Amino acid sequence: MSQAAWIPFDPDIVRKTQAHTAQMTRWDEILTLPVQNPTTLEFSAADIMWSMVEGWRDSMDRLALIPYSRVNDFVRGESNNKDCPTKFHVEARRRRSPTMNCKPKVDGILEYILYWCSFGPDDYRKGGSVRPSRPFSQKRKTPAGRPNTKRGCNCHFIVKRLIAEPSVALVIYNHNKHVDKKGMPCHGPMDKMAVGTKAMFAPYISDELRLQVMSLLYVGIPVETIMQRHTEMVEKQGGPSNRDDLLTHRFVRRLERKIRRSVYELDDDDAVSINTWVETHQDQIFFYEDFSNTDTFALGVQTDWQLQQMIQYGNRSLLVSDSRFGTNKLKYPVHSILVFDEQKNAIPVAWIITPNFAHGEIYRWMGALYDRAHTKDPTWQLGGFIIDDPLADVRTIREIFKCPVLISLWRIRHAWHKNLVNKCSDIVKRSAMAGRLGDIIFSICRGDGGVELFEAFLQDFIDCTDFLDYFRALWIPRLGAWTTVLKATPLATAEVASAIESYHHLLKLRLLNEADENVYQRADWLVHKLGTKVHSYYWLDEYSGKDNFSRYWRSEWNSGPNPWRQGLKIPDSDVSVEDNCARVVSQKNKGKSHLVLNPGSDFALCDCSWSRRGNLCKHSIKSTKVCRDRGLVQPSLALFRYYQALASLVRCPPSDTLISDHAMAVAVSVRRQLDTLLCASPANPPNGPAFPASQFASRPRESEIEEDNTENGVSASQSHAASGNDEENVRIDQDSPTCKRKSGKASGENEELSTDKDSPTSKKRKSGEASDDEGTSVVQGMQPPETSSQATEGTDGSA
């Protein structure tokens, strides 16, 4: 926030009176203070530079400006004070009503909030004073423990939101020590009287423990079990050492009752109900437009925890859009935004709910999503955004997140694979078709051909009518858009595809398991379930203590690494490759093995149950890796596109030598990391023999530059000269478009795509897509028992 954003003084006001002038000087000082925005998720007074400004009655106040959106982070940080843990509560709040019309004053206040340490201001200790206006301690028999914890603490601060700059909060710390009226410590480790009592610790349990208990309760773990595990944990560590260790039965029971009594249907009318929900869940919403605004409704849900995950795992990393979930079952399909944790498991960091027809209008909410992360951490920057829909508004995404956009093939791969299994019983023919589809996609990505390749496919497999009917009806109308996107957009890796697939599968198990399917028609049910039960499962996925509850493991619980990780764990010796198939020894039963057809292709088919349901199984993943390591197949499409980009960078380096050097350094370092990752075995050189010759063109030059950079330090002129020399050695295709033109072309194509959305054909496409999901969601949703058993089999790696 720049100082220029402040509204200048009204000279009229300044000229008023002497007394006023003194106060004005004070405001003058205040308004020149910088707005401080620490990049940590929460921050305390210690993280801020405080200014001393003369306050009322000659006292000195400590002042600071912070963004208004971060007041809660400050309150949390102050509560988690290591020396004196507490909680700050709102003791008083005043809001200016929007209609109130008053003179424009420089110190006009929109909102005034007084935060007080929860061990004060009253004092219920022996001989302490209680404000006469609060005589409730005598009246109530069970005062929920709260008034008794009051120990006369004087620590408090004020937050003011100014009319002049509503995005900024002025924090005034009047009293920053946790002491009573006599100036003595009145709670925490410094208070001798508090030793051995609850006053040693914070007055309430932490938000983290609360979320943990809520999550366990939501997924159906009984109060008794939660308490038992908790007590065991505290005993193990040798007694209570903080407030959280003092968790009580009563507290957990109260939460359980609250959950049990909560209902999703707040009104018969779904729209009214949603409105009410939105009003009471403001902190979980980053975007809302009801039907009255634009005729379509859009609701963006993001809890505080999800925002934290987005900031933590999205920073300099990937955000993935899973654009449609439940199109066939739900009245309002779910659009998920995902990040990946260290294990490369997907965590949903936002859910957007819109009617089917509003699909694709991401520009409406995407900015709000970005702003939310960015206000919390101004340095937050995305590394890449992955889409799964060729009609996605790539330009908007690029503009908002300022990062490259990639596309994932998982939807195509999953749908074709699954339908081949269901609609083509002849295994040999099935694998031939899958292999052919894989080759076609590969050719399109390489720029060798377009939609016409599919025409030939239809001709060659004309006798497999079931699959061809499906393919013609659902895919032919959409292949144009896919072809355009595949040619213009870099591809996400199969690892990403596998992680999205697992997310999609888990969400099905966690969300679409209702006995009464009528609820699927209501938006209030959907937001309620996502925000409570489903959210809890994803929270627990990341919770290290979940293993303590193993006897409650069910298919909805994510267990262990995803198929990609499992695949990489299979030893090479368990894989044998011959002709067009691979045998992979089952990891659970070493006497058994699985047959993978088309190993090395994106359309490998395995005979395990997970693969037969259209998924990328660990056996296919492992056999593909083995084939690539041995140079039996071409490198992955993602890697191919990466080398392609690298080659084009080499051919036409940016005009600015500094940028050019930097880009080279980055490219070389990424490449090295990739090589280490993908080709760990020394027997397999980074580029297998099957690697297309054109790609090698750039190699010698990279090593030259690498040497320049590492041995002589980064030297702009040297690298530049190197690239100059090399252009001749490389035999560049002079007709190839320059970088600039190339990117222009790419965005031109995207433009076509986005306008295409409004055309009548695109509507057809959308409805086609909707029914496509039919095959995916219905079967699994309708057969929970079978699904569950298969799910565990698939994810935790039986087979």
Contact residues for Zn ion, defined by CB under 5 A? 86, 117, 119, 153, 155, 178, 594, 606, 608, 611, 617, 619
- What CA–CA distance (Å, rounded) separates 576 from 584? 7
Residue with tokens 């009246």: 139
Nearer to Zn ion, 219 or 499 (CB): 499
Closest to 425 (Cα-Cα) out of 228, 612, 701? 612
Torsion of CA 634, 639, 644, 650, to 10 degrees: -120
- What CA–CA distance (Å, rounded) separates 454 from 477? 12
Least CB distance from residue 363 to Zn ion, whole Å?
Answer: 40
Least CB distance from residue 133 to Zn ion, whole Å?
Answer: 21
Least CB distance from residue 117 to Zn ion, whole Å?
Answer: 3
Least CB distance from residue 443 to Zn ion, whole Å?
Answer: 26
Distances (CA, A) of 350 to 207, 315, 346, 368, 395: 20, 15, 12, 11, 21
Nearer to Zn ion, 79 or 309 (CB): 79
**Could you tell me if 252 and 226 are in contact, meaning their C-beta atoms sit under 8 angstroms apart?**
yes
Burial of 238 (C-beta count, 10 Å sphere; 0-12/13-18/19+): exposed
Nearer to Zn ion, 273 or 611 (CB): 611
Contacts of 223 (CB under 8 A, 6+ apart): 217, 249, 252, 253, 256
Nearer to Zn ion, 266 or 585 (CB): 585
Least CB distance from residue 605 to Zn ion, whole Å?
Answer: 9
Nearer to Zn ion, 213 or 616 (CB): 616
Contacts of 38 (CB under 8 A, 6+ apart): 47, 48
Least CB distance from residue 205 to Zn ion, whole Å?
Answer: 17
Nearer to Zn ion, 443 or 586 (CB): 586
Least CB distance from residue 155 to Zn ion, whole Å?
Answer: 4
Burial of 30 (C-beta count, 10 Å sphere; 0-12/13-18/19+): buried
Contacts of 700 (CB under 8 A, 6+ apart): 726, 729
Read off the DSSP letter of residue 82: S
Residue 250 has a CB neighbour count (10 Å cut-off) of 12
Least CB distance from residue 177 to Zn ion, whole Å?
Answer: 8
3-state helix, strand, coil in the chain (%, to 5): 50, 15, 35
User: Per DSSP, what are the bridge partners of residue 744?
Assistant: none
Nearer to Zn ion, 510 or 618 (CB): 618
Task: Find out whether the peptide bond into 121 is cis, omega within 30 degrees of 0.
Answer: yes
Least CB distance from residue 187 to Zn ion, whole Å?
Answer: 6
**Could you tell me if 501 and 773 are in contact, meaning their C-beta atoms sit under 8 angstroms apart?**
no
Least CB distance from residue 427 to Zn ion, whole Å?
Answer: 14
Core vs surface per residue 548-578: b (16+ CB within 10 A) or e? bbeeeeebbbbbebbbbbbbeebeeebbebe
**CA end-to-end span of the chain, whole Å?**
57
Distances (CA, A) of 148 to 128, 153, 324, 378, 691: 11, 13, 52, 42, 74
Read off the DSSP letter of residue 379: T
**Could you tell me if 723 and 701 are in contact, meaning their C-beta atoms sit under 8 angstroms apart?**
yes
Token pair, residue 106, equals: 């420089």
Task: Find out whether the peptide bond into 38 is cis, omega within 30 degrees of 0.
Answer: no
Least CB distance from residue 191 to Zn ion, whole Å?
Answer: 10
Q: Are strands 593-597 and 581-585 parallel, antiparallel or unpaired?
A: antiparallel
Nearer to Zn ion, 191 or 256 (CB): 191
Least CB distance from residue 721 to Zn ion, whole Å?
Answer: 52
Least CB distance from residue 558 to Zn ion, whole Å?
Answer: 19
Nearer to Zn ion, 613 or 766 (CB): 613
Nearer to Zn ion, 178 or 505 (CB): 178
Is the four-CA dihedral 510, 513, 514, 519 of positive or negative sign?
positive
**Could you tell me if 441 and 602 are in contact, meaning their C-beta atoms sit under 8 angstroms apart?**
yes
Token pair, residue 104, equals: 């424009």
Nearer to Zn ion, 185 or 348 (CB): 185
Contacts of 126 (CB under 8 A, 6+ apart): none
Q: In sequence order, what E strands does 607-685 have?
A: none
Least CB distance from residue 304 to Zn ion, whole Å?
Answer: 24
Closest to 624 (Cα-Cα) out of 607, 612, 636? 636
Distances (CA, A) of 33 to 40, 521, 626, 729, 760: 21, 52, 61, 58, 55
Token pair, residue 98, equals: 């929007």
Closest to 695 (Cα-Cα) out of 725, 661, 656, 650? 650
Least CB distance from residue 153 to Zn ion, whole Å?
Answer: 3
Nearer to Zn ion, 470 or 610 (CB): 610
Nearer to Zn ion, 125 or 662 (CB): 125
Nearer to Zn ion, 440 or 584 (CB): 584
Which amino acid belongs to residue 503? Y
Distances (CA, A) of 583 to 148, 426, 566, 578: 69, 20, 16, 8
Token pair, residue 660, equals: 């050019």
Least CB distance from residue 55 to Zn ion, whole Å?
Answer: 21
Nearer to Zn ion, 153 or 432 (CB): 153
Nearer to Zn ion, 134 or 672 (CB): 134
Nearer to Zn ion, 617 or 637 (CB): 617
Least CB distance from residue 176 to Zn ion, whole Å?
Answer: 10
Least CB distance from residue 38 to Zn ion, whole Å?
Answer: 22
